Structure 1
C-alpha cells in the first residue's frame, strides 16, 4: 500500500511540473472625453460605439463603471493588426503591434499602440488611454 501511495504521489508531482502557463497581454482601456474633459460615454454622446479589426470582425468591448471601455482579447498575436473605432460622433483607426515572449510563462505583450485620424488627441494615462474627441 505504501508503494502505491508513493507511486501515485511521485506521478502527480512529475506531471504537475510539466503544466504550461500563459500570460495574456495587458488589457487596452480607452476613456473618451470632449475638450472640456467630460466623459462621452457617461453622458451618452458617444453611443452607440463599436470596434472591428481589419477583417471586419467585431471586438468585444466591456464598459466599466467609470465610463471607460476595455477592448477584450486583443494583442494575442505576433505582428501588427489594424482596428477601426466606430461611433456616431467619430470614426478613427488604430493599430496594435504585439509580440510573443517566452519565460516562466509563455504569452504575448503589446509593444505599441498607434492612433490614426484627424480630430483626436490621445494621452497615455496610467493604465488607460484618454482620447479627446474634438
Structure 2
C-alpha cells in the first residue's frame, strides 16, 4: 500500500523466459497502468528477458502493442496498448537504464524525475497498481 491505498504497487522479479506470459497476464488482470523496470537486462548474469516487443507481440492471452518510445537521459518510456479478447488497455512502461551494475546511483535526481513521471501516470489512471521489478 501507499498513502492509504491498499493495492498501490506490485513488487515482482523481472520476467524470465518461462514467466513472460504470466507477467503480461498479471499486468492485464490487475489493470496496471504502469510498469517500472529498474534494472538492465544483464548485470553479470541475466536479470530478466526482453519481455516487450519491438512493435507487436502475443504473450499467451495478451497482445502487446508498442505505440511510441521516448528516450530520456536516464530512462526510456514506452506507451503500450494491451489487448485481450475484445478489450484494450493503455499502459506506460518506464525503464530506468542508468542504474549502475551492483551499485547505487550517484545522484537521486534522475530517480526523482522518474518517480515524478510515474506518479503523474498513476494519478491519471483510476486502475490498478503500479508494477515494479528489478
Of Structure 1 and Structure 2, which has the larger fraction of its residues in strand?
1
Larger CA Rg, structure 1 vs 2: 1
Of Structure 1 and Structure 2, which has the larger fraction of its residues in helix?
2
The answer to whether the superposition gives a TM-score over 0.5 is no
Q: What's the TM-score, normalizing by structure 1? A: 0.30
Structure scoring higher RCO (CA < 8 A, sep ≥ 6) equals 2
